[in-house]
Amino acid sequence: MEIKRFYAKKSQKAGNIFTIDGEEARHMIKVLRYKVGYKIIVFDGTGYDYYCTLIEIGRDYVQAQIDEKVENDADLKVGIRLFQGIAKSDKMDVIVQKAVELVVSEITPVITARSEKEVKLEKLEKVAISAAKQCGASRLTKINEPIYLSEIPFDNLVIFAHENEKNRTLRDISTSKFSKIDLVVGAEGGFSEDEGRELVEKGAVAVSLGKRILRAETAAITLICLTLYKAGVI
Ligand code: SAM
């Protein structure tokens, strides 16, 4: 039987016992009908997998005893953060899901002149946990509160996918000396002229992703993959 992965907060661990409740417990009890003695893997987002045995099944909680703690090296040594112009809700779900699979460490929704102005953070956090479970990630991608474009920090290499950039591509950029890379992608409406200029003036490197205008979610996935390839990770 496949040993399934479940997420629990660090605070749900006391000694060598996890007490898991909520949706994760409901799934084990009601859907999978797990019994005492069953094996699960618990991850708490800190980079470790905990191989556990179920020792108690309550009405709406389970207790799992840790048998072994294993460092999960499925996560990258290169820290990639995505600053994403707020797209429509279903597109944001896709972007978060794919970014988690591609081991982006943080996602920050960005309010731009032409983006949506609100985002459903709780929903995106659930998407991130579900994607982490599915892909075997042990670190949780952090979903940050939305910021304005002008608040994007410039403490790392900042690469932004600009639909108006006609020449430079990622091939023209060296990423080797950066252990942290920040990526910026626009929403469906893209960036205004002023926003493009502001990002470049602050030191962001504009890159083209080709002649075609990609959907925001396609652009985000493409930019992340190309950056991972450039960084020698995939
Ligand atoms: N409003 C823009 C237009 O119609 O020209 C399209 C924006 S596009 C749907 C959303 C975002 O994806 C853009 O802001 C940019 O970040 C990225 N993107 C899409 N196609 C791109 C390309 N060929 N090169 C660079 N970035 C691209």
Largest interatomic CA distance in the chain: 61
Instruction: Please report the pLDDT score of residue 232 as a whole number.
Output: 83
Average pLDDT for the chain: 95
Q: Are residues 57 and 170 in the same domain?
A: no
The reported pTM is 0.87
Q: Are residues 125 and 171 in the same domain?
A: yes
In DSSP notation, 185-206 reads E--TT---HHHHHHHHHTTPEE
Separation between Cα atoms, residue 52 and residue 63, nearest integer Å: 9
Q: Are residues 45 and 150 in the same domain?
A: no
Question: How many domains does the chain contain in total?
Answer: 2
Q: How far is the CA of 210 from the centre of ligand 1 (A)?
A: 10
Residue 133, domain extent: 79-230
Instruction: Please report the pLDDT score of residue 76 as a whole number.
Output: 66
Instruction: Please report the pLDDT score of residue 74 as a whole number.
Output: 66
Beta-carbon count within 10 A of 104 CB? 25
Q: Are residues 121 and 45 in the same domain?
A: no
Q: Is the CB of 164 under 6 A from ligand 1?
A: no
Q: Are residues 36 and 132 in the same domain?
A: no
Residue of 83, 92, 95, 163 best suited for mutating to test ligand 1, as the one with most atoms within 8 Å of CB: 163
Q: Any residues with CB less than 8 A from the CB of 134 and at least 6 apart, and which?
A: 101
Boundary residue ending a domain (71, 104, 119): 71
Instruction: Please report the pLDDT score of residue 159 as a whole number.
Output: 97
Comparing CA positions, the residue from 104, 89, 102 lying closest to residue 142 is 104
